Amino acid sequence: MSAHQQLQRRLGTFDATAIGLGSMLGAGVFVVFAPAAALAGQLLALSVVIAGAVAYCNAVASAALAAKYPTSGGTYVYGREQLGKWPGFLAGWGFVTGKTASCAAMALTFGSYISPQYAVPVAVAAVVALTGVNLLGITRTALLTRVLLCVVLATLSFVAVAAAVGPHPDAGPAGSADMASPGGVLPAAGLMFFAFAGYARIATLGEEVKDPARAIPRAILAALAGAFAIYLTLSLLLLNHLPGGRLAATRTPLLDAVLQSGLAAGAPAVQAGAAAACLGALLALITGVGRTTLAMARERDLPVLLARVGGKHTVPYAAELAVAAVVILLLATTDVMTVVGFSSFGVLIYYAVANASAYTLPTHPAYAPKWLNAVGFVACLLLAFTLPPVPVVAMAGVLAAGVAGRWLMLRLRR
């Protein structure tokens, strides 16, 4: 690899943890509780626990691998090194396609909160602005992520207080969302996993973290522990505060929790916090997808032009600009709020490869025993294939198209 393609190590453990937690506490936390509650009912908290357990399996596998391979690309690199080029490509392609759609979803959510009538233009402006921040260098990205994370944590704390103090509405007639729905627990856990998947961004930044063998595992586990505590607390509070199927029926569960409490005057602050969360998640997503695109282009699994790194702050500008262009295209042509399941499926396949890769390591750290990698692999596939059938079929088609395209390019090169 030539010197001009190398990124620089500028991030400490705190910065990496902030990027991971900022990614997890994104737009997902403001919307995912409602569809998950519609599936699991009063067992929503159990779905959060299952999603968190699977996320832990994936996190420790990623941490062990990132310590051995401290370079950009995440599981794309790990799969190539431990399992072979095809599993690595499958992981990278699933991450890039699923998370690019997630970028568009985050941007549109931001636009909807700021100006529902002009959601798409506002979303495009956000993508352009945050891509500009990324092009200023990874330290600027980490600084803005910390600022936005503080705003989101303050907002979620306010929602928790509002849900706790009430007053709580009468339960009313019991609906399906008020019942325990054991059959919906796993599909709900698959949707909740969408909100947990942000720690992947830490691993994809491996080439830019100082002392990665020590810092990356700590950052991944710290970010995951923080997100799990917040999600579990919110799920219990929301179930208690929004009975009568209201949690399952709303598209803005955290905003509704405040509106139906004695602190309704703080609703605009919740909207502002949701907008900040979308920006934070979008910023980290563009960063992570850009680094994985860079890694795939270096190996010629994507056009080699996307491997260009340069500028004053040594950033992968070609990959960043390409990701932004695709996100803007999605915003202009489709309603991407329907792709949460699509993204969840792609990321679960990505982590299945991560667990399989970690399983083949010659030595395993105490926090990531070999048997846990096997459990994580099976759990990822189980959650992926219990998602609603439409995203499963759609993402399977996208993965198959990517595999066919790579096979054709290899044939042409020969």
| Residue 204, pLDDT above cutoff 50 | yes
Q: With bands split at pLDDT 50, 70 and 90, how would you rate the model's confidence at 2?
A: very low
Give the whole-angstrom CA distance, residue 127 versus residue 246: 33
Count Cβ atoms within 10 A of the Cβ of residue 21 and give its class: 0-12 exposed, 13-18 middle, 19 or more buried.
buried
| Residue 213, pLDDT above cutoff 70 | no
Q: How far is CA 73 from CA 90, 162, 400, in A?
A: 13, 41, 21
What is the number of other CB atoms lying within 10 angstroms of the CB of residue 378? 13
- What's the pLDDT at 208? 66
More confident site: 74 or 130: 130
Q: State the DSSP code for 167.
A: P
Domain, as residue range, for 41: 3-413
Look at 154-158, 173-177, 330-334, 402-406 and tell me which has the smallest mean pLDDT. Answer: 173-177
Tens of pLDDT along 223-274? 888 889 999 999 998 888 886 577 877 777 888 888 888 888 888 888 888 8
Tens of pLDDT along 338-377? 667 788 888 889 999 999 999 999 888 887 889 999 999 9
The answer to whether 32 touches 158, Cβ cutoff 8 Å, is: no
Q: With bands split at pLDDT 50, 70 and 90, how would you rate the model's confidence at 3?
A: very low
Q: State the DSSP code for 170.
A: P
Give the whole-angstrom CA distance, residue 373 versus residue 353: 10
Strand partners, 315: 310
Tens of pLDDT along 102-130? 888 788 878 877 777 888 899 999 889 88
| Of residues 256, 277, 258, the one with CA closest to residue 151 | 277
* CATH number of the domain where residue 110 is located: 1.20.1740.10
Total domains, the chain: 1
Residue matched to tokens 């991030």: 11
- What's the pLDDT at 95? 84
Token digits for 28?
């997902």
| Of residues 209, 194, 202, 198, the one with CA closest to residue 63 | 202
Give the whole-angstrom CA distance, residue 233 versus residue 73: 33
Q: What are phi and psi of 315, to 5 degrees?
A: -115, 155
The answer to whether 67 touches 213, Cβ cutoff 8 Å, is: yes
**383 Cβ neighbours under 8 A, 6+ residues apart:** 50, 51, 54, 186, 189, 190, 193, 344, 348
Amino acid type, 379: A
| Of residues 186, 172, 345, the one with CA closest to residue 249 | 172
Count Cβ atoms within 10 A of the Cβ of residue 390 and give its class: 0-12 exposed, 13-18 middle, 19 or more buried.
exposed
Q: With bands split at pLDDT 50, 70 and 90, how would you rate the model's confidence at 400?
A: very high
Give the whole-angstrom CA distance, residue 301 versus residue 250: 42
Q: What is the mean pLDDT of residues 19-36?
A: 77
Token digits for 242?
């929004």
Token digits for 236?
């219990």
- What's the pLDDT at 173? 47
Percent of the chain scoring above 70 in pLDDT: 84
Q: With bands split at pLDDT 50, 70 and 90, how would you rate the model's confidence at 310?
A: low
